[in-house]
Amino acid sequence: MTRRLVRLLLAVLVLGPAAAMAGDTPGRFDFYVLSLTWSPSYCEAEGGERDDAQCQTGRRYGFLVHGLWPQYERGYLADCPTRLAPGEADIRAIADLMPARGLVRHEWRRHGACSGLSPADYLKAIRTARQMIHLPAAFQRIDTYVMVSPAAVEAAFIAANPGLRPGGVAITCDGRRLREVRICLTRGLGFRACEDVDKRACRADRVVLPPVR
């Protein structure tokens, strides 16, 4: 048994499958996760203190794109080596979906470089994936704090998006606030199931949706 294989097996045993992906190959993955973040929750929790663009006064953002993440059936790819980076024109073009410029750069380095796409094509894939998702009407306008169940949020997204199934969407929370809706997509950006993502969904009975400000 080679030393490299021994190290890989030790990493799986000690740190789990997601930590043993040092040999990730860009473009070799099973599916995507489109992560939609509820911007008011992010801004209330940490984004406001960072003065992120999406949290500035008058930016009435609801759901924004956090990222489009290449995934294995178990675990995920991350930090694939690259010398490429999104150009300024590409960053500006995606600002309506991802207004924080630093987030765009981070998501490319962390996840996009593993997609096997160029930076421009990766950002285009993000737009294509987001455009196929219909936001439930209940989340189009929220002007006060609302208590919701993660199950109800999931059901609303399923109802608004024919073809989306319970095993293909996961709601995340930070214990108090709803944070993200994560939707699993095929490499061709169709809906699909994703057991490994779904099992990490929020288990709270009720969470808060902070208002859009």
Catalytic positions are 66, 107, 111
Residue 199: half-sphere exposure toward Cβ, Cα within 13 Å: 6
Q: Structure tokens of 103?
A: 């987030």
DSSP code, position 116:
T
Helices (H) and strands (E) in the chain, counts: 8, 6
Token digits of residue 151: 């199950």
- The structure tokens listed for 190 are 């169709």
Strand locations in the chain (E): 31-38, 63-71, 146-148, 169-173, 178-185, 207-209
CB 69 within 8 A of CB 103: no
Residue 158's nearest CA partner among 143, 148, 169 is 169
16 Rama class: left (phi>0) / alpha (psi -120 to 50) / beta:
left
DSSP state of 133: P
- Residue 179's closest CA among 151, 202, 152, 212? 202
